[in-house]
Amino acid sequence: MSTEAIASNAAARQRYLLVLLFAGFVLTGVEITLAGPLMPQFIARWSLNDSRAGILLAVQFSGSLAGVWLSSLVTHYFGTRTSLVLGYLMIGTGLLTLNNSSMTVVLFALGALGIGYGLVVPPTNLAVAEIGGAKSASLVSLVNFAWGAGAVSCSPLVLLALKKGFLPALLFFLAAFGGLLAFSFLFAAFPEGKHRTTNPASASPAISPGFLTTVTLAALFFLYVSVEVSLGSWSAAYAKRLPGGGEGISTLAPMFFYGGLLAGRAVAPFVLARIREFHLVMFALMLVIAGNTVFVLAATQKISFLSAAVAGLGCAAIFPVYVAWLSRWYGPRAVSLGSLMFSMSSVGSAVGPWFVGLVSAHAGGLRVGLLVPLAAAVAMVFLLLLVRRQAAA
């Protein structure tokens, strides 16, 4: 076979893998955000207060943490393919059992969704970052754009399904899609791994990050996901308690948040070509802080929707840049450190929404509880100043 044919075949296999990874992230965007628009239904079904409702989210994202740990072991011993296949099988199982009248079964479903999410997100992000090479931040932004497409479609799909009575059929369809992805990944060709095949000396970053930088980056992963999940998960419940628009329309609140996130990730690759990553992340955090502040102070649903969109727009570029920094700064160590960073993300996704509910239940409502992600966004600004030199390198 000629060199050109070999290269063409390899490129086709890479495109097939990217299509699967992108399609999979659309599904993960839907499944991991389902609890948000369904939260008012869960609260009404079992007469939950905000603290108990927060436990539902904590179970889901604690499952995500377990999935990240499991992903690290499975990827190490059996490879990326196995982690992705198991992850999408777990997601399918969770989707099939989510619409149940028993809170115990729903807790199981949310745990399965979380475990599946944790199994697929780290290998997907790291695989895309490795394929992207020097343009890893842009390609990671695009795959997370696919995630955002799923997340933004979730709320209107749930609203339509609840109104027309086809929520079980919708969940069955999504579960079948998860099963199809699991099957398709069995035939995908995964890259050998640049970090494992290059000379370690040449692959190492020019300036090896120190312990403080590593701890700071881990804290940034923790805080960012805490902010994103808290705003996305609680926005529908918060909007429902505001005047204007009615209860049904409040289900769309997460759509505005993830819509802003989706729009931001669509333009992020173009912006990253012109603006330094550090400056973009700092500006993005200013948008998150502004949007979260107005969201907390909103007097009507319309204002809450618009401010949620601004906060989502700010969130768009932050996580992809963090993943790109992880891949670039640590070189061969990125695979092993990825377990730590994505674990911190999962801890943030479990602790953040739960803490919002806890504060809300004990401090007078969600308006106070939603100060938690605002404080986390402010903390990220100060933490970024600690890694400014490394980010600029």
- Spatial neighbors of 104 by CB under 8 A, at least 6 apart, are none
Supply the pTM of this predicted model: 0.73
* Separation of CA 204 from chain center: 28
Determine how many CB atoms are found less than 10 A away from the CB of residue 77.
8
Query: Residue 54 in contact with residue 358, Cβ under 8 Å?
Result: yes
pLDDT over threshold 60, residue 196? no
278 three-state secondary structure: helix
d(Cα 116, Cα 85) in Å, to the nearest integer? 9
Residue found under tokens 């069955």: 172
Any idea which of 15-24, 228-237, 362-371, 384-393 has the lowest mean pLDDT? 384-393
Query: Residue 21 in contact with residue 142, Cβ under 8 Å?
Result: no
Look up residue 120 and give its two tokens: 């697929």
Per-residue pLDDT of 83-130, as tens digits, reads: 999 999 999 999 999 988 899 999 999 999 999 999 998 888 877 877
Residue spans per domain, the chain = 3-392
Kindly report the backbone phi and psi dihedral angles of residue 180, in degrees, each rounded to the nearest multiple of 5, phi listed first.
-65, -40
**What's the pLDDT at 345?**
87
Look up residue 32 and give its two tokens: 């991991």
- Is domain 3-392 classified as CATH 2.40.30.30? no
CA angle at 348 for the pair 346 and 354, rounded to the nearest 5° = 110
d(Cα 10, Cα 20) in Å, to the nearest integer? 16
Determine how many CB atoms are found less than 10 A away from the CB of residue 267.
14
Per-residue pLDDT of 358-368, as tens digits, reads: 999 888 788 99
